[in-house]
Amino acid sequence: MVTKLCSPLRPGEVGCYASHLEALRTVVEQELECALILEDDAVLPGDLVPILRNILTTVPAGWDIVQLCRNPSRAVKPIAVLGHGAKLVRYSRVPETTTGYLVSLSGARKFLAPVKRYWPVDTDLRQPWRFGLEIYGVVPKLIAAHCAFPSSINALGYKSRMRRGLPWPSRYCWTGSPLHTPHGLFFNIKTLGLVPWAICYLQNALRRVFSMLGLKSQARRATSQIGWQRNLPRQGSRN
């Protein structure tokens, strides 16, 4: 039986996805231990190189991707202190962005696995359970997107975000929320641990309530790292 894809990606989305896959293919072909993947509008800090060294000596073995370019809107579980106010974290929900990230050789191989690609690359990376990806992040973000820089990909028509006609089996999730699919839920609990997952779930629920009430500052505080501030490993230590 042939499944017809009734909601195709737009040209800009296809181009963006293809460029990321090509970069990851280079990582695999050259057997690079890791690589920094950047989009054309990335703005880099002047001290990025020593910061990346700190991240690579701190991130736990077996990592696949470290997101560097967006502050999360959902609760996170801090893993280690990186210095200069930054922390290495695990996400309760991966941010939707691909402006800049570190990828390991294993992460590149996993994401290049032959699977159907229904959604843009940033949406697929929000679903690590589909690829078995071990994703970490740095908070606050290290890399920004230059808003005034015209993107050639966006000019082709970038965000379609259409749902109609897309498949809906249990392992897929349009929104990127692990709560919307059993595979995502179990993967998230395994990744965070049961108690940390429950704390993040409570923080995210409070955020939604405060957001609905128009209490933006309270919503931000609800997703801050409550209860995770003590006994974090320092930079240079591996778990």
Report DSSP letters for 168-191, one per residue.
--TT--SS--GGGSHHHHHHHHHH
109 in a structural domain: yes
pLDDT tens readout for residues 117-155: 878 899 889 999 989 999 999 999 999 887 655 555 555
Count of the separate structural domains present in the chain: 1
- 222 is written with which tokens? 């609800």
Could you list the residue range(s) of the whole structural domain that residue 68 is in? Answer: 11-169
182 in a structural domain: no
- Round to whole Å and give the CA distance between 69 and 99: 6
Top mean-pLDDT range of 43-47, 86-90, 150-154: 86-90
1 in a structural domain: no
83 in a structural domain: yes
Residue 81: per-residue pLDDT: 92
205 in a structural domain: no
pLDDT tens readout for residues 166-214: 555 445 555 556 667 788 888 999 999 999 999 988 888 888 887 777 7
97 in a structural domain: yes
186 in a structural domain: no
Give the mean pLDDT of the chain: 80
Taken in order 64, 86, 76, 158, the sign of the CA dihedral is: negative
Residue 165: per-residue pLDDT: 41
How far is residue 159 from each of residues 12, 15, 152, 162, 164, measured CA to CA in Å?
8, 12, 13, 9, 15
The confidence band for 2, taking pLDDT boundaries of 50, 70 and 90, is very low
- 113 is written with which tokens? 């696995």
Residue 192: per-residue pLDDT: 93
234 in a structural domain: no
